[in-house]
C-alpha cells in the first residue's frame, strides 16, 4: 500500500468511528433518531467509497459481491409484503436495508488488514478510556447523570459511557446499551486476529491493544462473551502453528493451557449462574425474559417459515406481543420470525462460506458458532 496521507487516515477513522457508534451507542441515539443516524451512515459510506476509488494510495479491492444479499433481503421483503398485504407500524425494514447498504459501502472500501487496523484502534481507544471509568464507578466516585430515551428507558451515564439502565450494571458496557452488546464489538475484533493468535506474530503495538480489548470483553461478565472467548481459545489450540524444534512440547502446553482457561471460564459464576442456576434474582430474571422472547420468536418462525411476519409490520408486533416477546432479545430469531427460515439459511450459509475462505480449517466451525451466538444473544444482526 502506498503511504496514505494523514488527512485520508483521519477521514478513515471518522468513518469507522461513525460505523461503530451507529451500532447501538446510547449517547449517539439519544441525540439523533435512528432514521437520521442510518441515513447519515449510508451517505458517508457511499461518499467515502467514491473517495477511495479515486485515491491511488489505497489498494484496489477485489470485487465484493455481498451486495446481492441486500438484493435478496429487499426482494424477499417485497414478496412477503404483497403476499400477506402487510401494513407497517415502524421503519425497521427500511432501517435494516439502509444499514446493510451502509455496512457494505464501508467494509467493501478497505482491504482486510487496513479495516481491521482501523476498527481495532477505535475499539481500543473506547476500551482504554472505558475500563478506568468502569472501575471508578465501582467505587462510587464518579459523578453520573441520567439519560432518558424516547422509549422511556433511563440510562445512568458518565460522559458517553453507559453504567446502567437505570441501576448500575456492575459490568463493563462501554458506550453501548448493555454489556452483552459491548462484548460483540470486543470479541469481533479478537476473532479478526485469529491468524495472529495461531502464528503468534504481531505487528508493533497490536498485542497490547488486543490485551486491553480482551480485558474489556472479560469485564462485561457476559455469558455470550465467555462462550465466545472459550471458542476462540479452542480454535487457537486446534490450529496453533508454532515453528520450533520444541513445537510438539509447546503445542501440548498451548492445548493444556487452553483447556485450563476454558475450564475456568466455564466454571465461572457468570456462566454457571446464567445457564445452570436460578438462585440469583438477576440471573433468573434475565434467563426468564430471554427464554420467553426466544420461545415466542421461535413459534412465529414455525408459524410462517417461508416469508415470516415481516420486519416492523402490524402482524409482527401484534403476534409477538400476544406470544410473550417483550424485547426482541434474540437477534437471529427476531429476523427469522420476520423473514422466515429461508432468510436464516441464506444468512448462515453466506457467513460460513466467507469464514471458510479465511482458511482456518476446523476452526471455521468455532468461528461460525461464535458469530451466530453473538447475534443470538442480542438483537444484533
pLDDT digits 0-9 by tens, 196-236: 998 888 999 999 999 999 999 999 988 888 889 988 988 88
Judge whether 200 lies within some domain: no
Per-residue model confidence (pLDDT) at position 234 = 84
Residue 158: inside a domain: no
Task: Tell whether 63 is covered by a domain.
Answer: yes
**CB distance 4 to 115 below 8 Å:** no
The parent domain of residue 48 ranges over: 1-110
| 3-state SS, residue 155 | strand
Using a cut of 0.75, tell me whether the model's pTM lies above it: yes
- Give, in order, the Cα–Cα distances in Å from 127 to each of 124, 176, 178, 209, 287: 5, 11, 14, 9, 27
Is residue 368 very low, low, confident or very high in pLDDT (cuts 50, 70, 90)?
very high
Residue 323 counted as domain residue: no
Instruction: Give a yes or no: residue 46 inside a domain.
Output: yes
pLDDT band of 171, cuts 50, 70, 90:
very high
CA distances from 376 to 228, 330, 332 (A): 12, 5, 5
* pLDDT exceeds cutoff 90 at 58: no
Distance of CA 139 to the CA centre of its chain: 29
Lowest-confidence region among 109-113, 132-136, 258-262, 316-320: 258-262
* Grid coordinates belonging to 102: 451502509
On whether residue 86 sits in a domain, the answer given is yes
CA dist list (Å): 352 to 42, 186, 325, 343: 26, 21, 29, 14
Q: Are 168 and 282 in contact (CB under 8 A)?
A: no
Contact (Cβ atoms closer than 8 angstroms) between residue 293 and residue 327: yes
Are the C-beta atoms of residues 99 and 130 closer than 8 Å to each other?
no
Q: Is residue 78 part of a domain?
A: yes
Helix, strand, coil: what percent of the chain each, to 5? 65, 5, 30
pLDDT per residue over 227-248, tens digit each?
899 889 888 887 776 665 555 6
Residue the block writes with cell 430474571: 285
If one counts the domains in the chain, the total is 1
CB–CB of 247/230 below 8 Å? no
- Would you state the pLDDT for residue 286? 60
Longest CA–CA span in the chain (Å) reads 68
Question: Mind listing the pLDDT tens digit for each residue in 114-162?
Answer: 999 999 999 999 999 999 999 999 999 999 998 887 777 889 999 999 9
Is 198 inside any structural domain? no
Amino acid at each position: 500500500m502506498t503511504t496514505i496521507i494523514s488527512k485520508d487516515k483521519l477521514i478513515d477513522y471518522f468513518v469507522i468511528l461513525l460505523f461503530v457508534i451507529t451500532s447501538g451507542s446510547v449517547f449517539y441515539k439519544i441525540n439523533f433518531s435512528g432514521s437520521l443516524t442510518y441515513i447519515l451512515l449510508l451517505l458517508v459510506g457511499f461518499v467515502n467509497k467514491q473517495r477511495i476509488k479515486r485515491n491511488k494510495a489505497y489498494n484496489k479491492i477485489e470485487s465484493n459481491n455481498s451486495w446481492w444479499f441486500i438484493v435478496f433481503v429487499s426482494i424477499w421483503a417485497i414478496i412477503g409484503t404483497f403476499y400477506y398485504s402487510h401494513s407497517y407500524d415502524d421503519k425497521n425494514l427500511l432501517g435494516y436495508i439502509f444499514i446493510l447498504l451502509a455496512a457494505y459501502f464501508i467494509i467493501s472500501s478497505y482491504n482486510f488488514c487496513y479495516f481491521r487496523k482501523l476498527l481495532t484502534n477505535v475499539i481500543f481507544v473506547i476500551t482504554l478510556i472505558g475500563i478506568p471509568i468502569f472501575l471508578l464507578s465501582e467505587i462510587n466516585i464518579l459523578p453520573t447523570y441520567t439519560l432518558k430515551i424516547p422509549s422511556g428507558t433511563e440510562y445512568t451515564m458518565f460522559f458517553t459511557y453507559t453504567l446502567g439502565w437505570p441501576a448500575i450494571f456492575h459490568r463493563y458496557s462501554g458506550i453501548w446499551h448493555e454489556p452483552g452488546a459491548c462484548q460483540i464489538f470486543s470479541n469481533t475484533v479478537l476473532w479478526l486476529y485469529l491468524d495472529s493468535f495461531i502464528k503468534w506474530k504481531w505487528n508493533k503495538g497490536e498485542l497490547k491493544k488486543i490485551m486491553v480489548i480482551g480485558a474489556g470483553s472479560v469485564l462485561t461478565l457476559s455469558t455470550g462473551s465467555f462462550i465466545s472467548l472459550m471458542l476462540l481459545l479452542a480454535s487457537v489450540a486446534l490450529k496453533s502453528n508454532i515453528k520450533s524444534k520444541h513445537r510438539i512440547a509447546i503445542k501440548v502446553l498451548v492445548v493444556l493451557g487452553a483447556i485450563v482457561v476454558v475450564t475456568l471460564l466455564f466454571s465461572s459464576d457468570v456462566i454457571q449462574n446464567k445457564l445452570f442456576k436460578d438462585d440469583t434474582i438477576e440471573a433468573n430474571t434475565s434467563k426468564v425474559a430471554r427464554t420467553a422472547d426466544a420461545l415466542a420468536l421461535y413459534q412465529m418462525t414455525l408459524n410462517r417459515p417461508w416469508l415470516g411476519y415481516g420486519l416492523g409490520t402490524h402482524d409482527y408486533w401484534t403476534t409477538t406481543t400476544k406470544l410473550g416477546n417483550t424485547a426482541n432479545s434474540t437477534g437471529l430469531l427476531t429476523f427469522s420470525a420476520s423473514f422466515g427460515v429461508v432468510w436464516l439459511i441464506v444468512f448462515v450459509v453466506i457467513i460460513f462460506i466467507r469464514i471458510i475462505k479465511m482458511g482456518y480449517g476446523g476452526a471455521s466451525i468455532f468461528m461460525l458458532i461464535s458469530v451466530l451466538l453473538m447475534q443470538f444473544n442480542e438483537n444484533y444482526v
